[in-house]
């Protein structure tokens, strides 16, 4: 498998009132095209920070993130925003759906932001809504959906522009056991069907076991 994304000697620190907090301390890893990886470790180990930097939601203090051979943090702001929109899909513990829009409209949003025509975006979104098992709920707003249904909409939204990489941060951390298992099956099924790379931050051993590789972070370093 070819390397899709490389993290090279990554450091991240934050300045607090009293001290400087080192969150990531020389992280290096690679994600191959189509690979599945679980990032595990105790709370505060740096998992979410690493995931956010991999997806360009945050910047490192030092080090590189290379996607398809290009250092993403050398991009200008416009190109970096396009990278986040088109090349990476994000799923978070809390779905972050827009409450005033329907499930279908939420899934369409990244496509519309990218400049896609509304009709085309709607066709893509309708297919994905069906793929995640919510074709009968597409006109409902988030407040009318269960937690599991909201997360299914969030997964569909993350996939609408066919990203090469899907990043998920505790995607079932807010759900009950049965719903979590359903979401796990959905994520892994979609990953296999579409052949995309999937990196998941999780405390859930069942979900981690479904991934091809597990990377454990301890105190900001790979164990």
Give the pLDDT band of residue 213 (cuts 50, 70, 90). Answer: very high
- Residue 7 lies inside a defined structural domain of this protein: no
- Residue 54 lies inside a defined structural domain of this protein: yes
Q: What is the pLDDT of residue 215?
A: 93
Q: What is the pLDDT of residue 6?
A: 94
* pLDDT surpassing 70 at residue 23: yes
* pLDDT surpassing 70 at residue 93: yes
The domain total for the chain is: 1
* pLDDT surpassing 70 at residue 38: yes
Mean pLDDT for the chain overall: 88
pTM for this structure? 0.87
Distance (Å, rounded) from C-alpha 88 to C-alpha 100? 25
For 154, the domain range is 35-61+81-222
- Residue 162 lies inside a defined structural domain of this protein: yes
Average pLDDT over residues 59-77: 92
pLDDT 10s digits, 126-163: 988 988 888 888 899 989 988 888 888 998 999 888 89
Residues 6+ apart with CB under 8 A from 98: 105, 106, 109, 142
Which has the higher per-residue pLDDT, 43 or 123?
A: 123
- Residue 27 lies inside a defined structural domain of this protein: no
Distance (Å, rounded) from C-alpha 88 to C-alpha 92? 13
- Residue 14 lies inside a defined structural domain of this protein: no
* pLDDT surpassing 80 at residue 190: yes
End-to-end CA distance of the chain: 24
- Residue 2 lies inside a defined structural domain of this protein: no
In this structure, what CATH number is given to the domain that contains residue 104?
Answer: 3.40.50.300
- Residue 176 lies inside a defined structural domain of this protein: yes
Give the pLDDT band of residue 1 (cuts 50, 70, 90). Answer: low
Which has the higher per-residue pLDDT, 51 or 22?
A: 51
- Residue 73 lies inside a defined structural domain of this protein: no
Q: What is the pLDDT of residue 62?
A: 93
Question: For strand 213-218 and strand 3-15, is the pairing parallel, antiparallel, or unpaired?
Answer: unpaired
Long-range pairs of 43-50 with CB within 8 A, sequence gap ≥ 24: 45/217, 45/218, 45/219, 45/220, 46/12, 46/217, 46/219, 46/220, 47/201, 47/217, 48/169, 48/170, 48/201, 49/12, 49/23, 49/24, 50/7, 50/10, 50/12, 50/24, 50/217
Residue 48, classed as helix, strand or coil, is helix
């Amino acid at each position: 498998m070819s390397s899709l994304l490389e993290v090279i000697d990554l450091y991240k620190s934050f300045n607090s009132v009293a001290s400087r907090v080192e969150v990531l301390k020389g992280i290096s890893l690679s994600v191959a095209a189509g690979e599945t990886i679980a990032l595990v470790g105790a709370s505060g180990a740096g998992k979410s920070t690493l995931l956010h930097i991999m997806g360009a939601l945050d910047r490192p203090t030092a080090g590189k993130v290379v996607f398809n051979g290009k250092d993403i943090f050398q991009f200008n702001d416009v190109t970096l925003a396009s990278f986040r929109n088109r090349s990476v899909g994000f799923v978070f513990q809390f779905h972050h759906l827009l409450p005033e829009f329907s499930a279908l409209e939420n899934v369409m949003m990244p496509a519309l932001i990218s400049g896609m025509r509304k009709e085309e975006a709607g066709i893509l979104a309708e297919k994905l809504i069906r793929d995640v098992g919510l074709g009968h709920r597409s006109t409902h707003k988030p407040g009318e959906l269960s937690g599991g249904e909201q997360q299914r909409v969030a997964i569909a939204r993350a996939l609408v522009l066919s990203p090469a990489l899907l990043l998920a941060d505790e995607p079932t951390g807010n759900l009950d056991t049965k719903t979590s298992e359903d979401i796990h099956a959905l994520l892994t099924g979609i990953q296999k069907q579409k052949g995309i790379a999937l990196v998941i931050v999780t405390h859930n051993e069942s979900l981690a076991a479904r991934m091809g590789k597990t990377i454990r972070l301890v105190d900001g370093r790979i164990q």
